[in-house]
């Protein structure tokens, strides 16, 4: 288990997954605008494309779980989980077409997660035992 944790840098995986999620979100409108559609096919996003959103959510959940276990700043952990929660709600809003927020809002939590993982990796990581008492 310790060997896995050393090989698995949760901040780098989380930042990469969030960046890929961001690219996925940016590419979506261009892919569907560029494709030739009939009047019946353009209304809905394919299920396989929406499934990618949930795959990124699972990967980012795991990365945030491990990153927050090794952070030295409590506010970073809170901000990561808050950003992930907003990302989840935004994706659920889009999946179920609730219309509460626009699709473009998804960029806010995705960019926040990327920035928080990078910040945590540079300034807040604890790798030794007992150093991770959360600080403000």
Give the pLDDT score at 130.
Answer: 53
Confidence of residue 39 (pLDDT cuts 50, 70, 90): very low
Question: Mind listing the pLDDT tens digit for each residue in 113-132?
Answer: 989 999 998 998 776 655 55
Higher-scoring residue by pLDDT: 39, 90: 90
What is the domain range of residue 112? 2-124
| Cα–Cα dist 112/76, whole Å | 11
Higher-scoring residue by pLDDT: 62, 7: 62
**pLDDT at 81 exceeding the cut of 90:** yes
**pLDDT at 7 exceeding the cut of 80:** no
| Residue 132: inside a domain | no
| Residue 133: inside a domain | no
Count structural domains, the chain: 1
| 3-state SS record for the chain | CHHHHHHCCHHHHHHHHHHHHHHHHHHHHHHHHHCCCCCCCCCCCCHHHHHHHHHHHHHHHHHHHHHHHCECEHHHHHHHHHHHHHHHHHHHHHHCCCCCCCHHHHHHHHHHHHHHHHHHHHHHECCCCCCCCCEC
| Residue 28: inside a domain | yes
For the chain, the C-alpha Rg in angstroms (whole number) is 17
Average pLDDT of span 71-95: 95
| Cα–Cα dist 36/103, whole Å | 22
Average pLDDT of span 21-34: 73
Please state the separation of Cα 113 from the chain's center in Å.
6
| Residue 136: inside a domain | no
Give the pLDDT score at 78.
Answer: 97
């Amino acid at each position: 288990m310790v060997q896995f944790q050393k090989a698995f840098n949760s901040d780098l995986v989380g930042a990469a997954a969030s960046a890929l999620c961001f690219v996925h979100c940016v590419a979506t409108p261009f892919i569907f605008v560029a494709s030739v559609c009939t009047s019946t096919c353009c209304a809905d996003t394919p299920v396989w494309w929406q499934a990618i959103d949930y795959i990124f959510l699972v990967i980012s959940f795991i990365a945030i779980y491990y990153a927050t276990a090794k952070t030295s700043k409590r506010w970073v952990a809170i901000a990561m989980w808050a950003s992930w929660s907003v990302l989840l709600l935004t994706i659920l809003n889009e999946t179920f077409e609730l219309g509460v927020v626009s699709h473009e809002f998804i960029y806010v939590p995705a960019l926040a997660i990327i920035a928080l993982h990078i910040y945590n990796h540079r300034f807040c990581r604890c790798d030794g035992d007992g150093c991770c008492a959360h600080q403000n």
